Chain A
Amino acid sequence: MQELVDSLVADGFVPGGLPLWVAYLGAMLVFGGIVVFVFILPIAGVTTWVERRVAGRIQSRIGPNRTGPAGFLQWLADGIKSVLKEDIVPSAADVPLFKLAPYVVMTGFVAAFVVVPFGGPLIIADLNVGILYLTAVTALVVVGILMAGWASNNKWSLLGGIRSAAQIVSYEIPAGLSILPVVMLAGTLSMQGIIGHQGWAPWTWHVFDNPFTFFAFFILFVSALAEGNRTPFDLPEAESELVMGFATEYSGLRNLLFFMAEWGNLYVIGAVVTTLFLGGWQIPLALADHPVPRIVLQFAIFFAKAYFWVFVAVWLRWTLPRIRVDQMMIMCWKYLVPIAFVNFMGTAVWMVLFPAGVPAVRVLLSLTAAGLLVAFARRVVFHVRRALLTREELSFNPLSTARVMSRG
């Protein structure tokens, strides 16, 4: 973005006499505003729509379908409703902390978008410590959640806040360790650099580069889910135990901010995983002299890949039960961290042994992944067939047990 502003100044678009830092500040506010209001908030909102529709279909029911076509405007209606709701602050709560907590969480979440690549050159700032910055800034969320849990003056919220702190801090380790193999392979921490190291074809992606990065991908995805407080790691907001965990006492706009941070975070998870392991926005065509279609195509590919993982996170939420606190810790420290270490060392050894990688292994891993998908599809077909043993006349729809009552 800095180059863009510099070129605009050089072309004379900025009124003369303004110092450079004012131009930068203005550009920051404008771009930041565009990204937040045009991309982040709608993404968080649309993700709720996707979640509710997918949840509905998984549960044999329709999701929201009244507001807008196929219920597409439900999130807008819910958002407006939340903003207009009564603002309740518990009388015994620690008011400054209580009011500040949602903003801290939102800051931690929105600040991550600075380094999320949208496609091609579309990135707010391609920091040369990109992925490290992202990991650091998303950890800010812990502070916000702890503040929320403590300031609510509610024992259940406190339990939720403490659980969340333990969870997020613990799962930073395997997440960080799983990022390291990719960083070693690409040789850079910058997001665009990592994407540049991959190609468009699946066997050029980092995930299929060697068996260690293959497992590192799954560990990163699981750890990212844990950091985002998503089922199976949603103990901090475990509905059946703690009503809403750390967010129990929040209503109206503050509640909305917490949950927008959660749903928006899903996209960040998808974007991170796509950038690091799945080839980012690489497209097969070069399109060197058609920048606009090229950027559009890159944006579309990146968005599709990232949103697929949002869909997987939603799908997992409605499939899996919740893990208990001590089991979560066991899983992190006894399973994910050792395996992440093994991946890290293994990638290092692999890079020493095969500096340019082994194409056969790449192709083999891609085929393995394809094979797993095929096996999964067959299992789905098995379940569908088994459930369709019903005869159509038996339907719980009362219209089929029609017996018209004649009134004489």
Chain B
Amino acid sequence: MSLTGFEVEIQREVDGGLTTEDMTLSMGPQHPSTHGVLRFVVRADGEVMKEAIPDIGYLHRSIEKISEKVGWHGFMPYTDRVDYVAAMFCNQGWAMAAERLAGIEVPKRAEYCRIIAAEFNRIQSHLLSVGSMAMDIGAYTPFIHTVREREYINDLIEELCGARLTFNYMRIGGVAWDIPPGWREKALSFLERFEPLIDEYNALISYNKIYTERLRNVAAISAQEAIDYNLVGPNLRGSGVRYDVRRDLPYSVYPELDFDVPVGSGELGTLGDCFDRYMVRMREMKESCKILRQCLAQLPQGPVIAKVARNFKPAAGDCYVRIESARGDMGWYVVSDGTAFPHRCKIRTGSFAAMSIIQKVSRNLMIADLIAVIASFDLVAPEIDR
């Protein structure tokens, strides 16, 4: 049976004169819980899946090609749209790539501003991920609560850079706006409000028996498998691998900051199951609060942007920049040919890698579990398709 460009092999069984056939479902591009426009072709025997084949490309916008047309400075707002849930990291990746090619040094205060913005964005992204995971499992309330907390961070960042979703905060050489007066106090009072709420989410949903029963022992991925399939970020750390780009290949001023890297430990089931990945994200939010407090306290004086020509022409060459985005190790491979327009820009995102393991992990799961697996990988469709 063919489903638009797909050949799906159906298994037929003959049992005492009765022929049974697999059911082919299309968890189509329009679905309430596929985190964007994704499609899974599910071959199932009733409730139990034999296979879930991912089908991507519904959200492809040729962003990488656009970089070749708009130039170095002009591409910054487009990087927001690569992953609009965690846009600061994409800004940072592009800025770092351009700076490395041109050999620009970013002032200290600018690095701190970048990290403050990035860690707030990490909290926002994890809040959305945790909330929508709870919503997919069936609890609608935690989603609204986490989105409510996101509104506070949205307000803070709106005061900082003027926008609530597509920030365009960073520039090549630093950041575009300095921290306004009074902002630090607001940020600190937000952190004071937010940290106890992580415990409230744990009481409401994380350790709820029904929720843990849905997530434990589902799609357990061993550490070796996770490394083989190129998982990154909380997906990798959920399987027990303590790899974090901020710690292992440090960039910016992360070496001056003190934070832990939470790792999944199979606390309620197998190591590397959905619950581990979920708890890694909850704990990372607490770590981000720690980082933010340190940054806000240690903020040095100085300019927040280096002198960069309006007509930016970095030397010809290429570079690969890795940053720890909310979804993991995001790689920016940028090739310059010495002109004002990049020659090629390739973005490697964590969600794209996670798509490949879904087909393997989905064997003998139930359809309800597929939803949990998709949510636990924190897939965002714009990042997969760009």
Asked if A and B touch directly (CB within 8 angstroms), the answer is yes
Residues of A within 8 A of B (CB): 55, 58-61, 155-156, 159, 162-163, 231-232, 234-235, 238-241, 243, 318-327, 383, 386-387, 389-391, 393-394, 396, 398, 401
Inside 8 A of B371's CB, which chain A residues have their CB? 240-241
Provide the bound-state CA to CA distance between A231 and B139, in Å: 9
- Would you list the 10 A-B pairs with minimal beta carbon distance, nearest first? A322-B138, A59-B144, A240-B33, A321-B139, A321-B138, A390-B193, A321-B137, A396-B151, A240-B136, A324-B368
Q: Would you call B141 and A58 a contact (CB within 8 A)?
A: yes
Q: How far is the CB of B358 from chain A (nearest CB, A)?
A: 16
User: Which of B31, B199, B208 touches A320 (beta carbons < 8 Å)?
Assistant: B208
Inside 8 A of A387's CB, which chain B residues have their CB? 196-197, 200
Inside 8 A of A389's CB, which chain B residues have their CB? 192-193, 196
**For chain B, what secondary structure do more than half of its interface residues adopt (helix, strand, loop), or is it mixed?**
helix
Q: Knowing A231-B138, A318-B140 touch, does A325 contact B368 (C-beta < 8 A)?
A: yes
Listed A/B pairs (9) with beta-carbon separation below 8 Å:
A58-B141, A60-B148, A232-B138, A323-B213, A383-B200, A383-B203, A387-B196, A387-B200, A391-B193
Q: Would you call A60 and B47 a contact (CB within 8 A)?
A: no
Provide the bound-state CA to CA distance between A162 and B159, in Å: 52
B189 contacts A by Cβ under 8 Å: yes
Provide the bound-state CA to CA distance between A390 and B138, in Å: 29
Provide the bound-state CA to CA distance between A323 and B204, in Å: 16
Q: Would you call A401 and B366 a contact (CB within 8 A)?
A: no
Residues of chain B in range 133-150 having any CB-CB distance to chain A below 8 Å: 134-141, 144-145, 148
B251 contacts A by Cβ under 8 Å: no
B361 contacts A by Cβ under 8 Å: no
B197-235 Cβ-contact flags toward A at 8 Å (1 or 0): 101100111001011011000000000000000000000
Q: Would you call A394 and B193 a contact (CB within 8 A)?
A: yes
Inside 8 A of A58's CB, which chain B residues have their CB? 141
Q: Knowing A243-B32, A320-B208, A394-B189 touch, does A59 contact B141 (C-beta < 8 A)?
A: yes
User: Please, which residue of chain B has its CB at the minimum distance from the CB of A318?
Assistant: B141
Q: Would you call B33 and A60 a contact (CB within 8 A)?
A: no
Q: Would you call B138 and A394 a contact (CB within 8 A)?
A: no
B23 contacts A by Cβ under 8 Å: yes
Inside 8 A of A156's CB, which chain B residues have their CB? 25
Q: How far is the CB of B52 from chain A (nearest CB, A)?
A: 13
Inside 8 A of A322's CB, which chain B residues have their CB? 137-139, 210, 214, 368
User: Please, which residue of chain B has its CB at the minimum distance from the CB of A155?
Assistant: B25
User: Please, which residue of chain B has its CB at the minimum distance from the CB of A60?
Assistant: B148
Q: Would you call A396 and B148 a contact (CB within 8 A)?
A: yes
Q: How far is the CB of A69 from chain B (nearest CB, A)?
A: 25
B190 contacts A by Cβ under 8 Å: yes
B152 contacts A by Cβ under 8 Å: yes
Inside 8 A of A55's CB, which chain B residues have their CB? 140
Inside 8 A of A394's CB, which chain B residues have their CB? 152, 186, 189-190, 193
Inside 8 A of A155's CB, which chain B residues have their CB? 23, 25
User: Which of B138, B155, B204 touches A401 (beta carbons < 8 Å)?
Assistant: B155
Q: Would you call B196 and A386 a contact (CB within 8 A)?
A: yes
B329 contacts A by Cβ under 8 Å: no
**For chain A, what secondary structure do more than half of its interface residues adopt (helix, strand, loop), or is it mixed?**
loop
**Interface size of B in residues (CB-CB distance below 8 Å):** 45
19 additional contacts (CB under 8 A) given A59-B144, A324-B366: A163-B47, A231-B138, A232-B138, A238-B138, A239-B32, A240-B135, A318-B140, A320-B208, A321-B137, A321-B138, A321-B208, A322-B139, A322-B368, A324-B213, A326-B47, A387-B197, A387-B200, A393-B189, A394-B152
Q: Would you call A321 and B214 a contact (CB within 8 A)?
A: yes
Q: How far is the CB of B194 from chain A (nearest CB, A)?
A: 9
Q: Would you call A241 and B367 a contact (CB within 8 A)?
A: yes
Provide the bound-state CA to CA distance between A239 and B137, in Å: 10
Q: How far is the CB of B161 from chain A (nearest CB, A)?
A: 14
Provide the bound-state CA to CA distance between A162 and B366, in Å: 15
B284 contacts A by Cβ under 8 Å: no
Provide the bound-state CA to CA distance between A342 and B270, in Å: 34
Inside 8 A of B144's CB, which chain A residues have their CB? 59-61
B369 contacts A by Cβ under 8 Å: yes
Inside 8 A of A393's CB, which chain B residues have their CB? 189
User: Please, which residue of chain A has its CB at the minimum distance from the CB of B30?
Assistant: A243
Q: Knowing A60-B148, A321-B210 touch, does A396 contact B368 (C-beta < 8 A)?
A: no
Provide the bound-state CA to CA distance between A243 and B154, in Å: 30
Provide the bound-state CA to CA distance between A387 and B149, in Å: 12
Q: Would you call B25 and A321 a contact (CB within 8 A)?
A: no
Q: How far is the CB of A346 from chain B (nearest CB, A)?
A: 25
Residue among B25, B152, B210 with the most chain A CB within 10 A? B210
Residues of chain B in range 117-170 having any CB-CB distance to chain A below 8 Å: 134-141, 144-145, 148, 151-152, 154-155, 159
B46-69 Cβ-contact flags toward A at 8 Å (1 or 0): 110000000000000000000000
User: Which of B199, B208, B366 touches A326 (beta carbons < 8 Å)?
Assistant: B366
Q: How far is the CB of B367 from chain A (nearest CB, A)?
A: 7
User: Please, which residue of chain B has its CB at the minimum distance from the CB of A324?
Assistant: B368
